[in-house]
């Protein structure tokens, strides 16, 4: 029996401490094990933004143990879809990859009240992306929790 390879996504922002961590967390929850998910940053922070951890915890997602990771050419090359979230020119380009640049506010230095709308926008965009990658099979966050 032949298996179809799982699609893969990498979420990239400068520090891999906020937006890309949220994107990856929602992609994991919404896809289960049907999509391979990565996140990275061009200049990783020492830790994930605590307001981001709190905002995701409100939605039932625990990322407290996540650690920001450095963006590598290998991680981009191994991904089908590259979602950039403010990393500018630091993201390597490989032909044949799908690239999307999501213009989102940066949660760095913000409290949880300011992070919630960013979280909600990322969740909505990830929902659309996951649905597309899974061939229109509707996944819904509220159904997966």
Residues forming the active site: 13, 87, 91
Place of tokens 């961590």: 21
Residue among 17, 66, 72, 24 at smallest CA distance from 44: 17
CB atoms within 10 A of CB 111: 12
Structure tokens of 24?
Answer: 């990856």
Torsion of CA 36, 101, 131, 48, to 10 degrees: 50
């Amino acid at each position: 029996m032949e298996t179809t390879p799982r699609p893969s996504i990498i979420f990239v922002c400068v520090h891999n401490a906020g937006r890309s961590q949220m994107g990856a967390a929602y992609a994991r929850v919404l896809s289960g094990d049907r999509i391979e998910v990565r996140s990275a940053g061009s200049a990783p922070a020492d830790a994930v933004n605590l307001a981001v951890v709190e905002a995701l915890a409100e939605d039932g997602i625990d990322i407290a143990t996540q650690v920001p990771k450095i963006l590598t050419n290998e991680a981009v090359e191994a991904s089908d879809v590259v979602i950039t979230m403010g990393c500018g020119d630091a993201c390597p380009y490989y032909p044949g990859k799908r690239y999307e640049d999501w213009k989102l506010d940066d949660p760095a230095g913000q409290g949880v009240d300011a992070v919630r709308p960013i979280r909600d926008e990322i969740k909505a965009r990830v929902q659309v992306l996951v649905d597309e990658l899974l061939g229109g099979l509707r996944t819904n966050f509220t159904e997966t929790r």
